Copies of this chain bind each other. A is one copy, B any other.
Amino acid sequence: MTTPSLTAAEKDVRDLCVSAREASRFLATLPTGRLDDMLDEIAVELEKEAPAIFAANKKDIAAAEEAGLTKAMVDRLRITEKSLATIIAGVRQVRVLPQPLGQKITEWERPNGIKISKVRVPIGVIAIIYESRPNVTVDAAVLCLKTGNATVLRGGKEAIHSNRALVDALQKCTSLPKGAVQLIDNTDRALVPFLCRQSDFIDLIIPRGGHSLIETVVAESRIPVIKHAHGVCSVFVHENANFDMAEKIILNAKVQRPGVCNAIETLLIDRAIADEFVPRIAAVLGKADVEIRGDKTVLKLASGPKIVPATEADWTTEYLDLILATRVVNGLDGALEHLAKYSSHHSDTIVTDDPAAAERYLNEVDSATVYWNASTRFTDGGEFGFGAEIGISTDKLHARGPMGLDELTSYKFVIRGTGQVRT
């Protein structure tokens, strides 16, 4: 298992992957009740270890403030009494979710009498590479444990003390097999490509984070990857839209929480209604402190201190801020053309009272979630009713959109015969 050419740090990562593989084999054979027992113990242990977790988190916060991180970034790192309680409540919510393992997805009998069942099984070992938020550490580990998977966690260096304390608490649970939840606590970026080559021990890599992290993982990985990349989401206001509804949806999708991937970055307005709708929405967005980056027509129809010209780059930029790229398009065809060219295929909405236009949009827009008359902000495992999500896949294979417990499973075909052979 060890090669003399490995560095000490690489050897540590390799050993941890080997141990995760062993744990995953054990987890796969457990009755599902035993998996749920682990989650019970984790919730209790996190409560017990709260003082150690807060103390560790203080170190991360102090380091972040010293390093001059923005207030938003420091806030994302912070574990408060309330946020730890939310994390623990999340563990208990996952515990009571229906268990997908063992579920017969389909079963049938062949004319020769063999009985085939397609049964949900764990994937095996899942590596999760993420950035700063320490709540991901527990969420990911618990969702993977519920579905019988071992996890190798590699969080950002800003949260390293918090992540260590959280994983220490999980590893204190006597019901968890050794290796079921592990943290790579060396945050040297050079180890990411090494991790991505451990295909003998890891079955799936989920990178969550910025463009460069995801690019690195995709370029280096020899293991299947499910990307959780960015969202350049949009609203298209069709000529037959209810303007009040459009206004409400645009405001919600842009302003309610601009820093998340399901917030909109692009507004498309039908040319047929631009004269009336552009000035109206510009005024509303202006009041909400949103900067508009408009095309020529938008700039002709509205002006103000926060209305500036858009460049080509604006149609593909995820601002995660109070900025909205705004364009007037030639009807539904123009909107579809824009989205085919620029969409990040995450979440897109049409606002219209015309069912034919809506159905064509829903059919032709190739995004993980397509909406008619609703805010893009619903693209979320909780809002879908999944109870929990490991993230939102921007890939098309295995999992697309909000990724719940089912998507953390694979399947196998179980065949029961009475001596059948092939002729």
Contacts and interface: CB of A to CB of B under 8 A. Distances in A.
Number of copies: 2
A420 B245 CA distance: 9
A12 interface: no
Interface string A234-268: 00000000100100110111001000000000000
Contact of A384 (B28, B116, B385): B116
Interface in A366-416: 366-375, 377-379, 383-385, 395-398, 400-402, 410-416
A159 to B, nearest CB: 27
Contacts of A398: 397-398
A147 to B, nearest CB: 13
B419 A248 contact: yes
Interface residues of A, number: 68
A374 B110 CA distance: 13
Given A384-B116, A397-B397, A420-B374, A366 B415 contact: no
Given A110-B385, A218-B199, A397-B204, A378 B410 contact: no
A371 B420 CA distance: 11
Contacts of A421: 248-249, 251-253, 256, 374-375, 377
A363 B119 CA distance: 10
Contacts of A397: 123, 203-204, 224, 226, 397-398, 410
B416 A373 contact: yes
Contact of A224 (B25, B222, B395): B395
Contacts of A418: 373-374
A315 to B, nearest CB: 16
A205 B311 CA distance: 34
Contacts of A419: 242, 245, 248-249, 373-374
A307 B358 CA distance: 70
Nearest to A372: B416
A414 B374 contact: no
B414 A370 contact: yes
B256 A422 contact: yes
A354 interface: no
A397 B223 CA distance: 10
A100 interface: no
A194 interface: no
Contacts of A422: 252, 256, 375, 377-378, 383
Interface of A: 25, 28-29, 108, 110, 114, 116, 121, 123-124, 199, 203-204, 218-219, 222, 224-226, 242, 245, 248-249, 251-253, 256, 340, 358, 362-364, 366-375, 377-379, 383-385, 395-398, 400-402, 410-422
7 contacts: A110-B384, A249-B421, A251-B421, A256-B422, A362-B414, A368-B412, A397-B397
